[in-house]
Amino acid sequence: MERKTLISLCFGCMALVSTPIYAQQEQTIKGTVVDQNGDPIIGASVRVVGKKGDNVGVITDIDGNYSLTAPKGSKVTISYIGHLPQTVTPGGKTQLKEDSQNLEEVVVVGYGTQKKAHLTGSISTVPMDEIQDISGAGLANALSGLMNGVSVSGGDGRVGSNAQITIRDANDIAGITSNTRQTEPLFVIDGYIYPNDIKIGNTDGQNLGSQAFNNLDPSEVESITVLKDASAAVYGARAANGVVLVTTKKGKIGTPRISYSGTFGFTDAVSTPKMLSAYNYGRFYNIAAAADPTNTSLNHTTALFQADELEAMKKLNYDLLDKYWETAFTQQHSVNVSGATDKVNYFAGISYFDQDGNLGKLDYDRWNYRAGVDVKISKNLKANLSVSGDYSNKKTPNVKLGSSGQENDYRSLLYRPRYIPEYVDGKPILSYGVSNTESNAAQRYNYDLMQNQGDYSENKTSNVNINGSLEYDFNWNEILKGLKLRFSYSKSIFNDKSNQYGSQFTLYKMTNRFGSGAHLYTPVGGEDLETYYGEGNFESQTYNNGSMSYLSRDMSRADNYQINFTAQYQRKFGEHDINALFSIEKAESESEWLKGQVSDPYPFTNGQSNGASGQTTYAPQWTHYESGSLSYIGRVNYSYANRYLVEFLVRADASTKFAKNNRWGTFPSASLGWVISEEKWFKKAAPWVDFLKLRASFGLTGR
């Protein structure tokens, strides 16, 4: 007892003696931290080396400067995300080098992250720095050509149209080859799985996940990962077409950062197909029409262009595509605010995108917003809350030829023969050819009339997402160290509204036309214009913009939520690296759709159903759809000496889309990896090879 007491008192004496000595040797030290380019680094961590300096540290200010009090002769360790830490004698300027290997070391995978060197599945990541300055209506447009096995198509047509992503040429379900939703991958944004069975509006267009992904602003995205093979089995019944994982940005340690990025661009045609001149068109038409010498019924006067007409056609060049084609402009702006301390991490941003078209009154604009905060409630408990969303408005003229419902203004202007004007004596005319009769619905097309008579198609969408989570870390317990429990809740609400107005319009046919063959719409020479331009020479024809003149409205809404409880254990024991995960996931989706249409709208219509005199051609219809799912996910990753890699995964999914006796499906996967470059014999045999890995995987996915 006496010995123990003496030791205790001795420690007390040492503390009393050492305190003033330590205080006398303290001094104020200052310095500056810069990056490889010599620019100051804001928020770099500076800590004193040694036990006495464990709790002594500061962060650099906006100019990269730091100042702290430390014992004389101390050294400091300076660290910053994405850079190699350095231990230096304080004072002066310290230049940190980027750690490119560290930036790529961790990859986001389903329900967590893994070291890139330990991956055993086919996973690709997007180099985000290469797409930050690419301006486009959708994020998918910017990914073209960046990843093997990932195809990007479309998105270069009308304003506001998005590209389609296909992973390893996913095929449609048999019999539904026109439905692009059947080939799109599953989209997961910040852990929330967007339902891939809910479509937008009453079309076979993109699903909710595809639109949510395309509406993201590149400035708010931290990483994009694509799961292409058995690695996608972690998402089970919905992963047959692959999975696209998105992680949005968070704040970084340091003072608040305000960043702005803006782009201005224009869209134009490098070239357009070269079409025949009016004269050459007439010559080749005659050659084709008279190609059969045995055709004795051919009337060489009425069925062919005559010499005087061909001569006049040398001076005709009604190039309507060139007349109406305009350079389109686009702009994109984003403002972000972010920062972090030891207790709080925050990020907020707002962005705006606007795009117009090369032909007609086309306009698309979209607002995006995102705000999130991570709070360290205690040493082991963290909380997260984020709110994000977007609002878009797309306006286009409602141009439909006949009953096909296709918007063919570009092709109609391109293919229109150069000898046919749009107007004759102020009247919009039908572009009939030699026979002066209709051969296809495109001959009813008059660009100027269709663009300016007030017909429209307008689509408005809005999307709101709420995500929250709680995470507890057991790092305080030696046995449970490495175990984390996480509960998360996500909810999305999507609304879509479309309005269309298609009116009647009048075009004219010339009964008698100019030239000895009566084929031209403009004088050949010496004609009595009063005869040709008289009212009796024009026959009016009334057409509908579509199968009938109409007013229509359709609205859709989707409300979805997802709950996850996840236990993750990650720990290293010597050469053994273990990463295990178990998660329970529950999700419910609810969607509804409503549409109505009336015919014969008044010229002064208010856009409502009472603004038409006709019947209800499409009686109000509505649908309501609900579904739910429950999933259990288990995964184990094991690595030995960073050389031998194994992963086992099992996911069990249940869905209300199936009968009660057949609701469950099991989706296992397994993969192996061998990092040969870590073998001693290989390093000696091929020292020029930095990294070489063999891997194999097998898994089941569904849809």
168-182, 435-449, 492-506: lowest mean pLDDT where? 168-182
pLDDT of res. 377: 94
Radius of gyration of the chain (CA): 35
pLDDT of res. 255: 79
**Cα–Cα distance for residue pair 646/105, rounded to 1 Å:** 18
What does the DSSP 8-state code read for residue 612?
B
Contact 167, 192 (CB under 8 A): no
How does residue 9 score in pLDDT terms, banded at 50, 70 and 90?
very low
Which of 67, 101, 135 terminates a domain? The answer is 101
- Regarding whether 76 and 106 lie in a shared domain, the answer is no
- Regarding whether 173 and 26 lie in a shared domain, the answer is no
- Regarding whether 249 and 286 lie in a shared domain, the answer is no
Q: Kindly write down the DSSP assignment for every residue of 634-647, as one continuous string.
A: EEEEEEETTTEEEE
Three-class HEC string of 148-203 = CCEEEEECCCCCCCCEEEEECCCCCCCCCCCCHHHCCCEEEECCEECCCCCECCCC
- Regarding whether 76 and 30 lie in a shared domain, the answer is yes
Q: Would you give the end-to-end CA distance of the chain in angstroms? A: 73
Angstrom CA distances, 520 to 4, 190, 278, 312, 528, stand at 119, 64, 11, 9, 14
Which of 101, 116, 149 terminates a domain? The answer is 101
- Regarding whether 238 and 123 lie in a shared domain, the answer is yes
Q: How many residues can be counted in the chain? A: 703
How does residue 177 score in pLDDT terms, banded at 50, 70 and 90?
very low
Element (H, E) at 7: helix 2-24
Tokens 């490098």 -> residue:
270
Tens-place pLDDT, residues 355-385: 888 888 888 999 999 999 999 999 899 999 9
Tell me the whole-structure pTM to 2 decimals: 0.77
- Regarding whether 123 and 185 lie in a shared domain, the answer is yes
- Regarding whether 172 and 84 lie in a shared domain, the answer is no
Residue 477: inside a domain: no
Amino acid at site 223: S
Residue 28: inside a domain: yes
**What CATH number is given to the structural domain containing 53?**
2.60.40.10
CB atoms within 10 A of CB 478: 7
**Cα–Cα distance for residue pair 131/147, rounded to 1 Å:** 13
- Regarding whether 175 and 135 lie in a shared domain, the answer is yes
- Regarding whether 165 and 301 lie in a shared domain, the answer is no
- Regarding whether 159 and 39 lie in a shared domain, the answer is no
Helical H runs in 68-148?
Answer: 100-103
**Cα–Cα distance for residue pair 678/680, rounded to 1 Å:** 6
Domain that holds residue 79: 19-101
What does the DSSP 8-state code read for residue 237?
G
Residue 422: inside a domain: yes
- Regarding whether 181 and 44 lie in a shared domain, the answer is no
**What CATH number is given to the structural domain containing 153?**
2.170.130.10
Q: Kindly write down the DSSP assignment for every residue of 254-294, as one continuous string.
A: EEEEEEEEEEEEEE--S--PPPPPHHHHHHHHHHHHT--TT
**Cα–Cα distance for residue pair 348/345, rounded to 1 Å:** 11
Residue 639: inside a domain: no
How does residue 434 score in pLDDT terms, banded at 50, 70 and 90?
very high
**Cα–Cα distance for residue pair 240/221, rounded to 1 Å:** 25
Total domain count, the chain: 3
- Regarding whether 429 and 539 lie in a shared domain, the answer is yes
